[in-house]
């Protein structure tokens, strides 16, 4: 418990440091300078929470849609620790999280209200423009967090943004382990779990490590979004050591998205 309290205190102080950085330094920094601070802060937060980082593969440099599996709110920091230029697409309610919202805003996050069709279309056009401008955008096609043991069905809608501008799509596999388990339950962010509860569980974790694996990218030119979603999901399943998903079931799910 003492270790958890110490880590949590460090994380809060690091968050406050990040907010001051955003308010006082970011306005005078160029893009490269901001990316350097985002990476520094993200790696620092992982260290504050006692979490190690392992990286495999390389992220594409420009104009890429990153597609990652989703386990926890800390997924964003894990990817930013390696690829700080990534602009994440996040649910709009993240804007209501204290402290975190200012830090998320500074990273160029694109917000979306999935329940509002018009807003989803707006977000898709915004993503497409960002990709066309050579930016890197990251999405979680599962649409919600899973337990890290099995991929959830993919929603294919946002892939249309990459297809529209023929941007490559790069799958990125995330996995968390701890001293005792290959898939750590400490990072789960499921159901009614609050941010405070999740922070405490992570801070109390023993030997937590996040593994970030950047896989080979896939072309999107003239692709069918449902078929592309199935291929990307299969890529991630293979990297995570899961059985290959059933193609028919995947396409049916994408049709409903």
DSSP β-bridge partners for residue 111: 90
- Report how far apart, in Å, the C-alpha atoms of 192 and of each of 6, 108, 142, 159, 196 are: 25, 27, 18, 29, 11
Take residue 129 and report the two structure tokens written for it: 């423009």
Domain boundaries in the chain?
Answer: 2-256
How is domain 2-256 classified at the CATH fold level? Cobalt-precorrin-4 Transmethylase; domain 1 (3.40.1010)
Number of neighbouring beta carbons within 10 Å of residue 49:
23
- Average pLDDT in the 39-45 region? 95
More confident residue, 95 or 31: 31
Residue 18: partners with Cβ closer than 8 Å, 6 or more residues away: 41, 45, 103
More confident residue, 246 or 118: 118
More confident residue, 60 or 95: 60
What's the whole-number average pLDDT of the chain?
A: 87
Rounded distance, CA 229 to CA 250, Å? 8
What is the predicted pLDDT for the residue at 125?
86
What would the pLDDT profile of 145-185 be if each residue is shown by its tens digit?
998 889 999 988 889 999 999 999 999 999 999 999 999 99
The angle formed by the CA atoms of residues 15, 18 and 24, to the nearest 5 degrees, is 145
């Amino acid at each position: 418990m003492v270790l958890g309290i110490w880590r949590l205190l460090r994380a809060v102080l690091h968050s406050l440091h990040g907010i001051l950085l955003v308010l006082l330094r970011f306005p005078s920094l160029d893009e490269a300078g901001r990316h350097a601070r985002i990476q520094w802060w993200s790696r620092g937060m992982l260290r504050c929470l006692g979490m190690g980082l392992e990286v495999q593969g390389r992220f594409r440099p420009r104009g890429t849609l990153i597609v990652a599996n989703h386990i926890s709110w800390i997924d964003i920091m894990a990817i930013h620790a390696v690829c700080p230029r990534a602009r994440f697409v996040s649910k709009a309610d993240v804007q209501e999280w204290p402290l975190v919202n200012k830090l998320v805003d500074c990273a160029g996050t694109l917000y979306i209200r999935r329940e509002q069709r018009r807003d989803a279309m707006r977000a898709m056009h915004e993503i497409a423009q960002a990709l066309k401008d050579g930016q890197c955008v990251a999405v979680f096609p599962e649409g919600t967090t899973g337990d890290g043991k099995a991929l959830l069905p993919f929603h294919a809608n946002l892939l249309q943004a990459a297809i529209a501008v023929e941007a490559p799509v790069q799958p990125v596999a995330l996995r968390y382990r701890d001293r005792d388990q290959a898939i750590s339950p400490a990072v789960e962010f499921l159901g009614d779990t609050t941010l405070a509860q999740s922070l405490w569980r992570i801070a109390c974790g023993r030997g937590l490590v996040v593994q970030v694996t950047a896989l080979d990218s896939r072309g999107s030119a003239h692709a069918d979004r449902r078929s592309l979603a199935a291929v990307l999901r299969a890529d991630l399943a293979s990297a995570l050591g899961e059985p290959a998903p059933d193609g028919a079931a995947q396409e049916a799910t994408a049709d409903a998205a």
